[in-house]
C-alpha cells in the first residue's frame, strides 16, 4: 500500500488477510497524520456517477463516545477505541452539490447536461429511495475503509448494532441521511476470531 510516512504498512493482500473484527483496543491515540492519510485513501473509493455520498464523522471525545456506546446498546468496543468513525450517506447533500461531482475535464455545456440528467434521475425518486441507493455506494467506501485501517497498522470493527436516530441526534446528522456503519478503530489489544467463511464453490459460479 503506497504511503508517504515511514510507519509500517501492509500490502493490500496482507491487509485483507489480516483484517479481523477487533473489539478491544490499546489506549494509544491515533496521530492526526494517520487519520488524514486514511481519508486521503478512502476518498478514492469509486461510486456510480462519481457521486461520493459518503460523509465521515470522527469521534475522539471521551464523553461523546460514552453516549455513542449507550446508543450502541452498550457495546464496549465503542469506548475502548481511541477513535470512532461514523460513516453516513447523504444523497440530499449530494444533490445540493451536483456540479462538484462532474469531472473538470468536461466542457461547460457537457457539465450542465450531466447535472440536468442526474437531477432528473434522482428527483424522480423519493428521498427514501435515493437514500437507500446512496447506501449501496457508501458501503463500497466502508470496504475500502476497513482495509485501509488494517493496511496502516490499525484494527477496527464495523458495527450496525445501534439506534440510528440516537446516533444522528448525537452527531447532528440529518434525519434523511443513512448510517452505513459505526467503526471503532485503534491499535488492537485482543485477538479476533479466526476467519470462518464459505468455500469458494458456495459463492463463485463460473460460466
Ligand atoms: C455491516 C456490519 C455490521 C456489523 N455489526 C456489528 C456489531 O454491531 N457488533 C459487532 O460486534 N460486530 C459487528 N459486525 C462484525 C461481524 O460480526 C464480523 O465482521 C463477522 O462476524 C466476520 O468476522 P471478521 O470481521 O472478524 O472477519 C458487523 C459487521 C458488518 C460488516
Pocket residue to mutate for ligand 1, from 15, 18, 20, 21, most atoms within 8 A of Cβ: 21
Distance from the CA of 105 to the center of ligand 1, in angstroms?
40
Half-sphere exposure of 100 (CA within 13 A, CB side): 8
Task: Measure CA of the first residue to CA of the last residue in the chain; give whole Å.
Answer: 32
| C-alpha triplet 191, 196, 202: angle, nearest 5° | 160
Q: How far is it, in rounded angstroms, from Cα 23 to Cα 27? A: 13
Task: Enter the C-alpha cell of residue 52.
Answer: 461520493
Q: What is the DSSP string of 97-112?
A: THHHHS-TTS-HHHHH
Here the CATH number for the domain that contains residue 77 is 3.40.109.10
Distance from the CA of 185 to the center of ligand 1, in angstroms?
13
Pocket residue to mutate for ligand 1, from 160, 163, 178, 197, most atoms within 8 A of Cβ: 160
SS3 39: helix
Give the count of beta carbons closer than 10 Å to the beta carbon of residue 120: 9
| Sign of CA pseudo-dihedral 121, 122, 123, 126 | positive
* Number of separate domains in the chain: 1
Residue 15 belongs to a domain: no
Q: How far is it, in rounded angstroms, from Cα 158 to Cα 170? A: 19
Q: What is the pLDDT of residue 2?
A: 44
Domain boundaries, position 84: 21-189
Mean of the per-residue pLDDT values of the chain: 96
Residue 101 belongs to a domain: yes
Residue 87 belongs to a domain: yes
Q: What is the pLDDT of residue 7?
A: 65
Residue 14 belongs to a domain: no
Q: What is the pLDDT of residue 8?
A: 83
**Which residue's C-alpha comes closest to atom 10 of ligand 1?**
159
Residue 9 belongs to a domain: no
Q: How far is it, in rounded angstroms, from Cα 156 to Cα 73? A: 18
> Which residues lie with the beta carbon below 6 Å from any ligand 1 atom?
20-21, 23, 75, 157-161, 181, 192-193, 195
Residue 115 belongs to a domain: yes
**Which residue's C-alpha comes closest to atom 12 of ligand 1?**
159
Q: Which of 86, 87, 85, 88 is nearest to 30 (CA)?
A: 85
Residue 203 belongs to a domain: no
**Which residue's C-alpha comes closest to atom 7 of ligand 1?**
159
Instruction: Identify the residue whose cell numbers are 447506501.
Output: 135
Q: What is the pLDDT along the chain (207 residues), one digit of tens a residue?
A: 444 444 689 999 999 999 999 999 999 999 999 999 999 999 999 999 999 999 999 999 999 999 999 999 999 999 999 999 999 999 999 999 999 999 999 999 999 999 999 999 999 999 999 999 999 999 999 999 999 999 999 999 999 999 999 999 999 999 999 999 999 999 999 999 999 999 999 999 999
Q: What is the DSSP string of 136-197?
A: HHHHHHHHHHHHHHHHTT-EE--B--S-HHHHHHHHT--TT-EEEEEEEEESB-S--PPP--
Residue 199 belongs to a domain: no
SS3 21: strand
Share of the chain above pLDDT 70, in %: 97
**Which residue's C-alpha comes closest to atom 29 of ligand 1?**
158
Distance from the CA of 194 to the center of ligand 1, in angstroms?
13
Amino acid at each position: 500500500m503506497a504511503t508517504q510516512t515511514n510507519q509500517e504498512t501492509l500490502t493490500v493482500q496482507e491487509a485483507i488477510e489480516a483484517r479481523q473484527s477487533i473489539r478491544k483496543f490499546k489506549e494509544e491515540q491515533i496521530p492526526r497524520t494517520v487519520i488524514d492519510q486514511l481519508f486521503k485513501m478512502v476518498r478514492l473509493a469509486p461510486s456510480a456517477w462519481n457521486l461520493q455520498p459518503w460523509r465521515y464523522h470522527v469521534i475522539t471525545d471521551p464523553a461523546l463516545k460514552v453516549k455513542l456506546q449507550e446508543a450502541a446498546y452498550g457495546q464496549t468496543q465503542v469506548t475502548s477505541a481511541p477513535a470512532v468513525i461514523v460513516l453516513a450517506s447523504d444523497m440530499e447533500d449530494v444533490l445540493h452539490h451536483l456540479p462538484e461531482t462532474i469531472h473538470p475535464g468536461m466542457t461547460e455545456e457537457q457539465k450542465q447536461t450531466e447535472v440536468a440528467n442526474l437531477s432528473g434521475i434522482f428527483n424522480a425518486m423519493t428521498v427514501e429511495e435515493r437514500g437507500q441507493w446512496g447506501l449501496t455506494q457508501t458501503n463500497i467506501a466502508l470496504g475500502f475503509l476497513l482495509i485501509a485501517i488494517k493496511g496502516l497498522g490499525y484494527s477496527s470493527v464495523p458495527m450496525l448494532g445501534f439506534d440510528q436516530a440516537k446516533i444522528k441526534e448525537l452527531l447532528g446528522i440529518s434525519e434523511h441521511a443513512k448510517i452505513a456503519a459505526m467503526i471503532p478503530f485503534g491499535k488492537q489489544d485482543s485477538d479476533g476470531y479466526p476467519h470462518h467463511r464459505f468455500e469458494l464453490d458456495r459463492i463463485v459460479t463460473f460460466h
